[in-house]
Amino acid sequence: METKFKFAQDLIQEAGSFIRDEMAKTLKIEEKTQFDDLVTNLDKATQDLMIAKIIKNYPNDFIFAEEDGVRHSVEHGNVWVLDPIDGTVNFIVQGEHFAVMIAYFEDGIGKFGLIYDVMGDLLYCGGGSFPVCVNGKPIPRYQDTPLNRTLLGTNAGMFADNYHGIRDLAKQTLGVRVYGGAGISMTQVMLGHLLGYFSCIQPWDYAAALIMGENLGYTLLTIDGEKPDFSTRQSIMFVPKAKLPEIKTYIK
């Protein structure tokens, strides 16, 4: 597993360096389901690059990736879950605050996860039998903090609608922060900079953080408190396990 974990770290950094090199060229931007659901030629080219390297090195492994309908269930065999650019809107508009994400599963068991903040050059990785580190430095486990000394990460629409009581929970904290990328938001939870992250996202958006978070005292559940299904878009929360009972008094 160590060789595979090292391969994944090299791969995600190569993907990031490819994006940094290519992003100065004119992007081809397409709308997917609606005007704010965007994909670029670089999302697709980065995914292609990652898949080609995985299949060359591990020809019997499977892929579950965001673009072009590449979908193999994480439950069966050795499966790589890929989000080539998480925060594509940030990537297009800001040219920063986006990430590449990888999660690796064997028969449904998460073995490691990686989130690479490309422009910040910050690699968060670990989980399973590996310590969770940022650029090689171990991240401490969750340390209990009262709600009124925390900030909450949330999807802006869900906050505005007080979806399942998210605004009620936010009112117990010092405020909300909206980063515009699931991956980068969840790294902020793991660092203890956010109490939690609430959003409506897909398996490739949450897989890496779920695996890493388990080693640090966090849990990723649907807003109803169930395990996510790893196949559809769901409303999720990524929160400290120790805080779940208190959070559930606000989240209905």
Question: Where along the sequence are the contacts to Ca ion (CB under 5 A)?
Answer: 66, 83, 85-86, 205
Q: What are phi and psi of 238, to 5 degrees?
A: -120, 105
**Smallest gap from residue 88 Cβ to ligand IPD (A):** 4
Residues 228/203, Cβ–Cβ less than 8 Å: yes
User: Nearest-CA neighbor of 235 among 194, 209, 202?
Assistant: 202
- 234 near ligand IPD, rule: CB under 6 A: no
Q: Which segment (74-82, 83-91, 102-110, 211-219) binds ligand IPD by CB under 6 A?
A: 83-91
Between 88 and 219, CB nearer to ligand IPD: 88
- 187 near ligand IPD, rule: CB under 6 A: no
Site string for ligand IPD, 122-161 (x = CB under 6 A): ---------------------------------x------
Q: What, of Ca ion, ligand IPD, none, does residue 155 touch, CB below 5 to 8 Å by kind?
A: ligand IPD
For ligand IPD, which residue of 15, 42, 81, 87 counts as binding (CB under 6 A)? 87
* Nearest residue to the partner ligand IPD, using Cβ: 182
Between 62 and 197, CB nearer to ligand IPD: 197
For ligand IPD, which residue of 65, 81, 100, 182 counts as binding (CB under 6 A)? 182
User: Nearest-CA neighbor of 145 among 247, 252, 250, 251?
Assistant: 247
Q: Which residues make Cβ contacts (< 8 Å) with residue 215, sequence separation at least 6?
A: 126, 127, 128, 130, 131, 132, 141
Q: What, of Ca ion, ligand IPD, none, does residue 127 touch, CB below 5 to 8 Å by kind?
A: none
Between 65 and 128, CB nearer to ligand IPD: 65
- 196 near ligand IPD, rule: CB under 6 A: no
Site string for ligand IPD, 204-223 (x = CB under 6 A): -x------------------
Where along the sequence are the contacts to ligand IPD (CB under 6 A)? 83, 86-88, 155, 180-182, 199, 201, 205
